[in-house]
Structure 1
């Protein structure tokens, strides 16, 4: 009976040594992690490239005028390849456009718009307050030329 007890304790020592990872296993896990991160980066890049091809920024290049407001009080936005122009000055050199939404930074505020039609001629500014102004394209630029 004593021999049976001794034989049962030996496998435990084998399991203890097996809990430690070998250098090969560590290296294998590092390679898997690096490949996974690389695949994520490539996927993100492909998605961004696809999005830019499906909805190029040039679709919104032009002059956008606030609707249903007195002309002297209406905001006017100009989107060009150089960025967003407001009151004669460039307020952001980048904007994000995905075919449904348009976003840009105006000072500390992120301005977000939702397009109201498939022709991309009207967009509503999404604000937390009650008033959500609608902008209409009044002049379209082709290749950044009026």
Structure 2
């Protein structure tokens, strides 16, 4: 094989690799665009948490509950903290010296799982 043929073969390989790369990048971009369109990357707004949350799976006399509003976090009708953090999937607030952390369990944001404190696993539903 002559040098000219080798050079031409090398150019063809490079062109093929560039073409395959562009096709792969296009496929990845279209998949990501489709995911954005379907809401796969959408975060739940903090306002969707607003309301009363009641512990599930325990007797009514032992149920824990809290209320989230724009004004803060309430338990038993009393304001316990004016601040709470929510990153779209995890809610946290401080009550006294204890930090409470809850994870959103479902897509519609109607169920929370308490992560901290870890006395036992407890699930909360929004009323």
SS at match of 2:47: helix
Q: 1:57 to 1:87 in 2, by over 3 A?
A: same
The runs of 4+ residues in structure 1 deviating greater than 6 Å are none
Scaled by the length of structure 1, the TM-score of the pair is 0.55
**Any unmatched runs of 5+ in structure 1?**
1-52, 139-146
Distance 1:109 1:128 in 2: 8
Task: State the SS of the aligned residue for 2:116.
Answer: coil
1:132: how far off?
A: 1.6
- The match for 1:133 among 108, 122, 126 is 122
Which residue of 1 is the match for residue 76 of structure 2? 87
Residues 124, 134 of structure 1: 8 Å contact kept: yes
Distance in 1 (CA, whole Å) between partners of 2:102 and 2:78 is 20
CA radius of gyration, larger in: 1
Q: How big is the alpha-carbon RMSD for the aligned residues of Structure 1 and Structure 2?
A: 1.7
Is the 8 Å Cα contact of residues 111 and 125 (structure 1) preserved in structure 2? yes
- Consecutive unaligned residues of structure 2, counting only runs of 5 or more, are 1-41
Q: Normalized against structure 2, the TM-score is what?
A: 0.63
